[in-house]
A and B are shown apart, each in its own frame.
Chain A
Amino acid sequence: MNGAIFNLAYKSVTNRLFTVGLTVLAIAMSVTLFLGVDKIRTGARESFSTTISGTDLIVGARSGSINLLLYSVFRIGDPTGAMSWESYEQIAGASGVEWAVPISLGDSHRGYRVVGTNNTYFERYRYGRDLPLQFAAGEAFADAEGVVIGAQVASDLGYEIGSEVSLSHGIGEVSFAEHDDHPLLVTGILRPTGTPVDRSVHVTLEIIDRIHDDGAHDDDGHEEDGHEDADHHQHEPEQITAVFIGMEQPTLVLRLQRQVNTYPEEALSAIIPGVALMQLWEVVGAGEAAFGAISAFVILVGLISIATSLSASLNERRREMAILRAVGARPGHVFTLLISEAAAIAAAGAFAGIVLINLVFVMIAGLVQSRYGLTLGSGGLSPTDMVTGVVVVTAGALMGVLPARRALKNALADGLTIKL
Chain B
Amino acid sequence: MTTEFAIQIGQLEFGWKPGQTLLDIDRFELAAGESVFLVGPSGSGKSSLLAVIAGIAPASAGEIAILGQDMTALSPARRDAFRADNLGVIFQLFNLVPYLSPLDNVMLPCRFSKARRDRATRNGSLRSEAERLLNSLGLDAATISRASTELSVGQQQRVAAARALIGAPGLIIADEPTSALDSSSRNNFIELLQGECEAANSALLFVSHDEALGRFFDRHVDLADINRAGSVVA
On A, residues with C-beta under 8 Å from B are: 1, 4, 7-8, 11-12, 14-16, 319-320, 322-331, 333, 412, 415-417, 420
Given the known inter-chain contacts A323-B91, A324-B97, please indicate yes or no for A330 contacting B81, CB distance below 8 A.
yes
Given the known inter-chain contacts A333-B112, A415-B47, please indicate yes or no for A323 contacting B54, CB distance below 8 A.
no
Say yes or no for B163: interface residue by CB 8 A criterion.
yes
A326 with B91: CB separation less than 8 A:
yes
A416 with B97: CB separation less than 8 A:
no
Chain A residues closer than 8 Å to B97, beta-carbon distance: 8, 320, 323-324
A8 to chain B, nearest CB (A): 8
Say yes or no for B61: interface residue by CB 8 A criterion.
no
Select which of A1, A415, A416 is within 8 A of B112 by beta carbon. A1
The interface size of chain B toward A, counting residues with CB under 8 Å, comes to 35
Chain B residues closer than 8 Å to A333, beta-carbon distance: 112
A328 with B113: CB separation less than 8 A:
yes
Interface residues of B in 76-105 (CB under 8 A from A): 76-77, 80-81, 83-85, 87, 89, 91-92, 94-100, 104
Bound-state Cα–Cα, A2 to B91, Å: 25
Say yes or no for B50: interface residue by CB 8 A criterion.
yes
B100 with A11: CB separation less than 8 A:
yes
Closest to B114 in A: A1
Say yes or no for B215: interface residue by CB 8 A criterion.
no
Chain A residues closer than 8 Å to B80, beta-carbon distance: 325, 328-331
B108 with A416: CB separation less than 8 A:
no
- Residue contacts A-B, CB under 8 angstroms, 26 given: A8-B97, A8-B100, A12-B99, A320-B98, A323-B97, A326-B83, A326-B89, A327-B89, A327-B108, A327-B163, A328-B84, A328-B112, A330-B81, A330-B112, A331-B76, A331-B80, A333-B112, A415-B50, A415-B54, A415-B56, A415-B57, A416-B56, A416-B89, A417-B51, A417-B92, A417-B175
Select which of A12, A324, A328, A417 is within 8 A of B91 by beta carbon. A417
A323 with B51: CB separation less than 8 A:
no
Interface residues of B in 161-197 (CB under 8 A from A): 163, 173, 175
Chain B residues closer than 8 Å to A328, beta-carbon distance: 80-81, 83-85, 87, 109, 112-113, 116
B100 to chain A, nearest CB (A): 6
Chain A residues closer than 8 Å to B116, beta-carbon distance: 328
Chain A residues closer than 8 Å to B57, beta-carbon distance: 415
Bound-state Cα–Cα, A325 to B108, Å: 11
Most B CB within 10 A of own CB, among A15, A416, A417: A416
Closest to B175 in A: A417
Bound-state Cα–Cα, A4 to B173, Å: 24
A329 with B91: CB separation less than 8 A:
no
Chain A residues closer than 8 Å to B51, beta-carbon distance: 415-417
Select which of B47, B85, B87, B108 is within 8 A of A417 by beta carbon. B47
Chain B residues closer than 8 Å to A1, beta-carbon distance: 111-112
B111 with A4: CB separation less than 8 A:
yes
Chain A residues closer than 8 Å to B76, beta-carbon distance: 331
Contacts A415-B50, A416-B50 known; list 8 others, CB within 8 Å: A11-B104, A323-B95, A323-B96, A328-B81, A328-B85, A328-B113, A330-B84, A416-B175
B65 to chain A, nearest CB (A): 19
- 8 A-B pairs closest in CB distance: A328-B84, A15-B99, A328-B112, A4-B111, A415-B51, A326-B89, A417-B47, A330-B80
Interface residues of B in 209-225 (CB under 8 A from A): none
Bound-state Cα–Cα, A329 to B94, Å: 17
Bound-state Cα–Cα, A330 to B91, Å: 19
Bound-state Cα–Cα, A327 to B109, Å: 5
Closest to A324 in B: B97
Closest to B94 in A: A319
Given the known inter-chain contacts A320-B97, A416-B50, A416-B175, please indicate yes or no for A327 contacting B91, CB distance below 8 A.
no
Chain B residues closer than 8 Å to A7, beta-carbon distance: 111
A329 with B175: CB separation less than 8 A:
no
Chain B residues closer than 8 Å to A15, beta-carbon distance: 98-99
Chain B residues closer than 8 Å to A412, beta-carbon distance: 56
Chain A residues closer than 8 Å to B85, beta-carbon distance: 328
Given the known inter-chain contacts A4-B111, A330-B81, A417-B50, please indicate yes or no for A325 contacting B95, CB distance below 8 A.
no
Most A CB within 10 A of own CB, among B80, B87, B113: B80
Bound-state Cα–Cα, A8 to B100, Å: 8
A11 with B99: CB separation less than 8 A:
yes
Bound-state Cα–Cα, A333 to B87, Å: 18
